[in-house]
């Protein structure tokens, strides 16, 4: 039997990053993925010839020496990646009721545009933007503070983060800004962590905004291109990635202390290793794969009260119309009915999703404009998202892959409601549909194996982040975690979680593992000026 050092359950961005670093350090690494396509939320797939990526819509900080760029250079995959820079004048389009506002790919220009639109809020806007800068910079300092002097000076060097760390976004922004529309524009990226301003952590929201200080970027080839580059690196270092390999149990040695020693697959195969990393949600890892009987009461209690993020409906569309003539570009579109985002979020999480003719909140992404190299000259590809609560699909959770007529009827009606919603933004789009499909929360569960179809792992509310988040270390010896519920969600958040877990296993600092390789550089292309 070939000795395996580390088995990684799940091939999401965190698991693949850990696999790269551990295999590069000389370990024998095996990644096991239950889906037939690797990548978790980052994977890409084709429907009737069109490529879709359900979980990658934009990534920030991709310029030379920015953190995402350095991450990919440090992982040794930058040379295999090309990113398109989304519309620098408006990488985010805000449609709030009848109001329109474009967020430019420059933090200072964003502030200037806000002051121009809301001159009566200038003083508060300047203070608020400076606070965002201060808190986001101090968040970046924390992982780098390791020396004795760092520990002495940390209260002063992170004073702004400490001041606002226990407050919600709604509360902090209310101290600075009063105009409801101005608040809505500044809060619109709450959609990137699936919470309302009233429940969102202010420092966490600062981190999201900071991630896009210089705009948004989209990978050529979709999220699957990132996955392919990561798997290539794993294989180059002697690691292995297996698909259609569902882990049903983490094997334990229950001697003097519980110790993870291997995994059992759905087909009954048992594979042993020196350690296990789970890229699955904590709920899936601890309760489904370990079992409540093997866990401490403290951990069981935490698992029982843990809340997961909202789930989603994702409409996948191929259309044969000139979307640029319809007003689209490479920027994302956020659609809200009015400026009260807390009320909207509550309504989206509680309403009967079958009532009404359209959804009030939407996120619209045209991937063939973000990645113009994927445009075939005729058909454009759209991904349209709205957030919902899982309870709308609770009655169908035990169905097998063969869905009931009731479920199929519900899915069809919701798909039409999504199309009606989109038609309000892109008039007559329903007349140009070549192909359509809808992913529901059950789709998320089936392909991603996410808890209750959640799109962002654990809900990033105040009592579930930072010191209250799940840790990479576990109470089971030789069992580690990574993924969206450990450090942060999103493509880079999940990827950094894998780096963090690998650093613990290898006994080094995170920055030591991802020193940017001078021979690695990302290729960046302007999406708006690209021609085939």
* Each residue's pLDDT expressed in tens, for the chain with a length of 532 residues: 458 999 999 999 999 999 999 999 999 999 999 999 999 999 999 999 999 999 999 999 999 999 999 999 999 999 999 999 999 999 999 999 999 999 999 999 999 999 999 999 999 999 999 999 888 876 665 555 454 444 444 444 445 555 676 789 999 999 999 999 999 999 999 999 999 999 998 988 998 999 999 999 999 999 999 999 999 999 999 999 999 999 999 999 987 789 999 999 999 999 999 999 999 999 999 999 999 999 999 999 999 999 999 999 999 999 999 999 999 999 999 999 988 999 999 989 987 898 889 999 999 999 999 999 999 999 999 999 999 999 999 999 888 778 899 999 999 999 999 999 999 999 999 999 999 999 999 999 999 999 999 999 999 988 888 888 999 999 999 999 999 999 889 999 999 999 999 999 999 999 999 999 999 999 999 999 988 7
Dist. CA 334–CA 364, nearest whole Å: 7
Of 124, 155, 135, the C-alpha closest to 208 is 135
For residues 226 and 300, membership in a common domain is answered with yes
For residues 118 and 160, membership in a common domain is answered with yes
DSSP string, 143-185: GG--SHHHHHHHHHHTHHHHHHTTSBHHHHHHHH---HHHHHH
**Residue 194, domain extent:** 106-211
For residues 118 and 205, membership in a common domain is answered with yes
For residues 195 and 231, membership in a common domain is answered with no
Dist. CA 111–CA 267, nearest whole Å: 56
The domain spanning residue 468 has which CATH number? 3.50.50.60
For residues 177 and 225, membership in a common domain is answered with no
For residues 464 and 499, membership in a common domain is answered with yes
233 occurs within a structural domain: yes
321 occurs within a structural domain: no
Of 201, 228, 175, the C-alpha closest to 56 is 228
- Which tokens in the block code for residue 157? 């060097």
Query: Is 331 in contact with 102 (CB distance < 8 Å)?
Result: yes
For residues 203 and 272, membership in a common domain is answered with no
Q: What is the maximum alpha-carbon separation in the chain?
A: 72
Total number of domains in the chain? 2
405 occurs within a structural domain: no
β-strand partners of 84: 218, 525
For residues 195 and 249, membership in a common domain is answered with no
Helix or strand run (H / E) with residue 250: strand 247-254
366: Cα separation from own chain's centroid: 18
Q: Which of 211, 231, 255 is the last residue of a domain?
A: 211
Q: Which of 160, 180, 211 is the last residue of a domain?
A: 211
402 occurs within a structural domain: no
Count the alpha carbons within 13 Å of 62 in the hemisphere toward its beta carbon. Answer: 23
150 occurs within a structural domain: yes
- Which tokens in the block code for residue 470? 């799940």
Count of CB atoms within 10 A of residue 123's CB?
11
Q: Which of 211, 246, 280 is the last residue of a domain?
A: 211
146 occurs within a structural domain: yes
Long-range contacts of 184-187 (CB under 8 A, 24+ apart): 184/94, 184/96, 184/336, 184/338, 184/339, 184/340, 184/341, 185/94, 185/96, 185/101, 185/103, 185/114, 186/114, 186/128, 187/341
Put simply, whether the predicted model's pTM sits higher than 0.85 gets the answer: yes
Instruction: Spell out the residues 6+ positions from residue 291 whose beta carbon is closer than 8 angstroms to its own.
Output: none
DSSP string, 66-117: SHHHHHHHHTT-GGG-EEEEP-TT-SEEEEETTEEEEE-SSHHHHHHHHHHH
Q: Which backbone phi and psi does 145 adopt, to 5 degrees?
A: -90, 100
Residue 151, pLDDT score: 43
383 occurs within a structural domain: no
For residues 234 and 182, membership in a common domain is answered with no
First-to-last alpha carbon distance for the chain, in angstroms, is 50
Of 279, 285, 289, the C-alpha closest to 16 is 279
For residues 150 and 167, membership in a common domain is answered with yes
Query: Is 494 in contact with 10 (CB distance < 8 Å)?
Result: no
Count the alpha carbons within 13 Å of 308 in the hemisphere toward its beta carbon. Answer: 24
DSSP string, 301-363: HHHHH--BPPEEEEEEEEE-S-TTTTT--SSEEEEESSS-HHHHHHHHHHS-TTSSSS-S-EE
Query: Residues 502, 503, 505, 508: is their CA dihedral positive or negative?
Result: positive
Helix or strand run (H / E) with residue 46: strand 45-47
Q: How far is CA 346 from CA 199, 370, 372, in A?
A: 11, 31, 36
For residues 167 and 258, membership in a common domain is answered with no
For residues 114 and 204, membership in a common domain is answered with yes
Query: Is 287 in contact with 457 (CB distance < 8 Å)?
Result: no
Dist. CA 253–CA 260, nearest whole Å: 6
334 occurs within a structural domain: no
Residue 320, pLDDT score: 97
């Amino acid at each position: 039997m070939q000795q395996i050092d580390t088995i990684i359950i799940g091939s999401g961005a965190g698991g693949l990053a850990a696999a790269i670093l551990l295999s590069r350090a000389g370990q024998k690494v095996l990644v096991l993925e239950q889906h037939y396509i690797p990548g978790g939320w980052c994977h890409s797939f084709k429907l009737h010839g069109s490529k879709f990526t359900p979980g990658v819509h934009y990534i920030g900080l991709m310029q030379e020496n920015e953190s995402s760029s350095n991450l990919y250079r440090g992982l040794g995959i930058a040379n295999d990646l090309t990113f398109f820079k989304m519309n620098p004048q408006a990488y985010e389009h805000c449609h709030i009721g009848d109001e329109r506002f474009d967020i430019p790919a420059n933090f200072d220009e964003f502030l200037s545009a806000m002051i121009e639109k809301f001159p009566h809020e200038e003083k508060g806007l300047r203070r608020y933007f400076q606070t965002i800068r201060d808190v986001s910079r101090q968040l970046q300092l924390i992982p780098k503070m390791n020396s004795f002097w760092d520990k002495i000076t940390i209260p002063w060097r992170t004073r702004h983060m400490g001041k606002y760390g226990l407050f919600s976004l709604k509360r902090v922004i209310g101290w600075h800004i009063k105009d409801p529309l101005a608040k809505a524009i500044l809060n619109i990226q709450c959609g990137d962590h699936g919470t309302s301003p009233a429940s969102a952590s202010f420092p966490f929201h600062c981190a999201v905004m900071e991630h896009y200080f210089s705009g948004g970027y989209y990978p050529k080839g979709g999220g699957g291109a990132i996955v392919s580059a990561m798997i290539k690196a794993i294989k180059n270092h002697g690691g292995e990635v297996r698909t259609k390999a569902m882990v049903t149990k983490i094997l334990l040695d229950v001697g003097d202390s519980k110790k993870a020693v291997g995994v059992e697959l759905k087909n009954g195969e048992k594979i042993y290793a020196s350690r296990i990393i789970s890229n699955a949600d904590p709920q899936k890892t601890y309760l489904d794969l370990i079992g409540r009987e093997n866990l401490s009461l403290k951990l069981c209690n935490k698992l029982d009260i843990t809340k997961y993020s909202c789930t989603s409906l994702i409409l996948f569309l191929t259309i044969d119309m000139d979307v640029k003539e319809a007003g689209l570009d490479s920027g994302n579109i956020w659609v809200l009915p009015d400026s009260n985002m807390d009320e909207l979020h509550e309504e989206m999480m509680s309403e009967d999703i079958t009532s009404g003719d359209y959804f009030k909140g939407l996120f619209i992404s045209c991937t063939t404009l973000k990645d113009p190299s994927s445009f075939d000259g005729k058909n454009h590809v759209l991904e349209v998202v709205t957030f919902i609560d899982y309870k709308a699909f609770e009655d169908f959770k035990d169905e097998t892959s063969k869905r009931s007529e009731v479920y199929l009827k519900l899915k069809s009606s919701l798909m039409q409601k999504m199309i009606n919603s989109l038609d309000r933004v892109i008039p007559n789009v329903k007349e140009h549909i070549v192909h359509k499909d809808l992913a529901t929360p059950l789709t998320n569960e089936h392909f991603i194996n996410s808890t209750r179809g959640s799109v962002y792992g654990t809900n990033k509310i105040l009592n579930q982040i930072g010191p209250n988040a799940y840790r990479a270390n576990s109470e089971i010896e030789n069992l580690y975690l990574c993924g969206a519920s450990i450090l942060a969600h999103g493509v880079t958040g999940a990827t950094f979680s894998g780096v963090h877990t690998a650093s613990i296993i290898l006994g080094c600092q995170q920055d030591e593992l991802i020193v940017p390789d001078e021979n690695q550089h990302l290729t960046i292309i302007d999406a708006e000026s690209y021609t085939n």
